[in-house]
Amino acid sequence: MATILAVETSCDETAVAIVKNRYIYSNVVASQISLHQSYGGVVPEIASRQHLVTINPLISKALVDSGLNWNQIDAIACTSAPGLVGALLVGLSAAKTLAIVQEKPFLGVHHLEGHIYASYLSEPELQPPFLCLLVSGGHTSLILVKDCGEYESLGTTRDDAAGEAFDKVARLLDLGYPGGPVIDRLAKTGNPEAFPLPEGKISLPGGGYHPYDCSFSGLKTAVMRLVTQLRQDDPHHLPVADLAASFQATIARTLTQRAIACALDCGIKNIAVGGGVAANSGLRAYLTEAARQHDLQVYFPPLKLCTDNAAMIACAAAEHFDRGHRSSLNLGVQSRLAVTEVMKLYNM
Ligand code: KG4
Ligand code: ZN
């Protein structure tokens, strides 16, 4: 069982963790949210520069927190794809340097495989095959987990990711960035049936709808039109809580229907949810109830493991390491890479 130090810098969190198999020794995250907030979203150049400032102190802190020394660490890993290129490069350079200086093997990790492995950290008994509903700011996917490095993408969004939809609708309602947590909070006091909103169904050429794919751009446009209309009707009062609740319920229903249909069709009993939107109370409630009705098991990792962190990256790297997978020190970063192509990161 390998002990891995991993670095994650794919977006706006600088994160370092030390994990042995499925046990977390240390897990530190420095969020950059406050730096990006005034821009209403992540500014890639600011993200890379801040990673540079934070990465070394965070590596030291992760090592001190773990109580381990370099001799007890078997390999160094980092997220190498997908993500913001400049941001990824900071983590990759730090990880490669550590690997060279400490004379340890190096492993690049796919960010989405990391999100899948977050479920193993909170459910160490979980075994493939299972279905992963991955819902973050950049991705919305239904992934069939067959084995380490062996994934099948069964469903996806055709446009905006679920978290992106939360962020865009929050901006429309002047609620700030990131949008998910604040919409979630407001939705608790609103009526989810106040405004009927369209579920983004994907039509198939021969008729009917794609069972697992979805779209959120139409939903976002519908909210925009509704807000314009409501502001015209009454410029002094916008029913923000009802809008938040109706929007959140539509997203939660859409994701739940796709995930349940996919699990039933594949004969899969376990659904693990990952990514920042897994924190959403509406999604948790809908999916948990639907799973119960269909006799399926659903797992939501704790929030700290849902949002971006390096423990999930280290956990994925630990299993690859145990299987003899290693990355070349010539490995570069990639802004895009399908989760089905994870094994391209390893050449040994
Ligand atoms: O996984 P994550 O930390 O970063 C990415 O890899 O994208 O996810 C961030 C996303 C943001 O879009 C944020 O608005 C959303 O997760 N999010 C939520 C909640 N908490 C975070 N969305 C809905 N409800 C929440 N409670
Ligand atoms: Zn992520």
Write the pLDDT tens digit of every residue in 174-208. 999 899 999 999 999 999 999 999 998 898 888 99
Domain of residue 206: give its range.
129-303
Quote the radius of gyration of the chain (alpha carbons, Å). Answer: 20
User: Residue 284 corresponds to which amino acid?
Assistant: R
Indicate if ligand 1 lies below 6 Å from the C-beta of 50.
no
Q: What residues contact 4, with CB distance under 8 A and at least 6 apart?
A: 18, 19, 20, 73, 74, 75, 76, 77, 107, 314, 315, 317, 318, 321
pLDDT of residue 348: 66
Q: Are residues 189 and 320 in the same domain?
A: no
Q: Give the chain's length.
A: 348
Report how far residue 232's alpha carbon sits from residue 212's, in angstroms, rounded to the nearest whole number.
37
pLDDT of residue 275: 94
Q: Are residues 179 and 43 in the same domain?
A: no
Ligand 1 pocket test, pick from 111, 277, 283, 309 with the greatest ligand atom count within 8 Å of Cβ, gives: 277
pLDDT of residue 347: 87
123 in a structural domain:
no
Q: Are residues 63 and 89 in the same domain?
A: yes
**Residue at token pair 């990790």:** 109
CA of 65 to the centre of ligand 1 (A): 26
27 in a structural domain:
yes
Residues with CB under 5 A from ligand 2 (ion): 136, 308
Q: Are residues 73 and 189 in the same domain?
A: no
Indicate if ligand 1 lies below 6 Å from the C-beta of 76.
no
94 in a structural domain:
yes
The closest residue, in CA terms, to atom 23 on ligand 1 is 180
Q: Are residues 185 and 76 in the same domain?
A: no
Tally of domains within the chain: 2
CA of 136 to the centre of ligand 2 (A): 6
Q: Are residues 299 and 318 in the same domain?
A: no
Q: What residues contact 54, with CB distance under 8 A and at least 6 apart?
A: 14, 30
Residues 205-222 as b/e (b if ≥16 CB within 10 A, e otherwise) read eeeeeebbbbbbebbbeb
pLDDT of residue 40: 83
* Parts of the chain with a pLDDT under 50: none
34 in a structural domain:
yes
124 in a structural domain:
no
Model pTM score = 0.95
Indicate if ligand 1 lies below 6 Å from the C-beta of 136.
yes
What percent of the chain lies above the pLDDT cut of 70? 100
Please say whether the beta carbons of 98 and 58 come within 8 A: no
Ligand 1 nearest-atom number relative to CA 111? 6
222 in a structural domain:
yes
Q: Are residues 95 and 181 in the same domain?
A: no
Q: Which long-range CB contacts under 8 A does 195-203 form with residues at least 24 apart? A: 195/226, 195/242, 195/243, 195/246, 196/246, 197/222, 197/223, 197/226, 197/246, 197/247, 197/250, 198/222, 198/250, 199/250, 199/253, 199/254, 199/257, 200/157, 200/158, 200/254, 202/158
Q: Single out the residue of 24, 29, 25 nearest to residue 12, CA to CA.
A: 29
Report how far residue 174's alpha carbon sits from residue 231's, in angstroms, rounded to the nearest whole number.
13
Indicate if ligand 1 lies below 6 Å from the C-beta of 140.
no
CA of 21 to the centre of ligand 1 (A): 26
User: Residue 103 corresponds to which amino acid?
Assistant: E
Q: Up-side HSE of residue 91: CA atoms within 13 Å toward CB?
A: 36
- Show the tokens assigned to 194: 């106040």
- Helix pair 179-187, 162-172: axis angle to 10 deg: 70
- Show the tokens assigned to 52: 């540079």
Q: Are residues 14 and 143 in the same domain?
A: no
Q: Are residues 195 and 340 in the same domain?
A: no
The closest residue, in CA terms, to atom 21 on ligand 1 is 276
Please say whether the beta carbons of 97 and 80 come within 8 A: no
CA distances 215 to 1, 3, 265, 337, Å, are 41, 40, 21, 21
Q: Are residues 26 and 102 in the same domain?
A: yes
192 in a structural domain:
yes
Q: For residue 202, how many other CB atoms are within 10 A of its CB?
A: 16
Burial-class residue 269 by CB neighbours within 10 Å (0-12, 13-18, 19+): middle
104 in a structural domain:
yes
CATH number of the domain to which 135 belongs? 3.30.420.40
Q: Are residues 108 and 248 in the same domain?
A: no
Q: Are residues 28 and 54 in the same domain?
A: yes
Strand order across the 270-274 sheet = 150-156, 140-147, 130-135, 270-274, 297-299
